Amino acid sequence: MHSDAFDLKALIRPVVDFPKPGVIFRDITPLFQSPRGLRYVADQFIERYVEAEFSHIGAMDARGFLIGSIIAPPLNKTLLLFRKQGKLPADVLSEGYQTEYGEAFLEGHADSLCEGDSVLIFDDLIATGGTLLAAANLVRRTGAQVFEAAAIIDLPELDGSRRLQAAGVPTFCLTEFSLSEY
């Protein structure tokens, strides 16, 4: 029997003990090295959002940029970049958040959104949800709304999707991994 099912997980490489012992890093590099895999991911997101009502795509530094820049043009949406502290050249809004490794800051241009805008925020992965929650807070501080948070991978045991949903941010991921799954 022939199956057309696409195995997205096969293109996500587990890297054990990176960036610190006990962590299994989910490396999406093989996905980007596969034209079919990248097309599959793009098609899945485009199909989900092609008729959705939102005005902007907000992409997280740095791997979220890859997905956001691929799906913004076919959806005819404005692409916003949420950057790590000190990377944007104009006036910024800044939001602190906790990472698995300490505190960090996410920034967005202060003039990029206004009341009435609606933003789909993208990252490669939802772990603790800190980066996407910081982006959601930045969006809301401009008077805009968060449409949804989307990622390729969810790590549900780290509660990021639950934390986002508790903050009023719906989530969508193409696949998920348990913390012990190789």
Answer for the pair 92, 118: CB distance below 8 angstroms, yes or no.
no
Among residues 63, 83, 107, 148, the one annotated as catalytic is 63
- Active-site annotation holds for 63: yes
| C-alpha distance from residue 121 to each of 5, 19, 22, 114, 115 (Å) | 27, 25, 29, 16, 16
Among residues 100, 157, 162, 181, the one annotated as catalytic is 100
Token pair 């959104």 in the structure block, residue: 113
Which H or E run includes 161?
Answer: helix 160-166
- What is the Cα–Cα distance from 22 to 42, expressed in whole angstroms? 31
In 13-160, at which residue ranges do the beta strands (DSSP E only) sit? Answer: 13-16, 24-27, 56-60, 78-84, 92-99, 102-109, 118-126, 145-154
CB-based contacts of 53, cutoff 8 Å, min separation 6: 118, 147
- Active-site annotation holds for 100: yes
What amino acid positions are annotated as catalytic residues?
63, 100
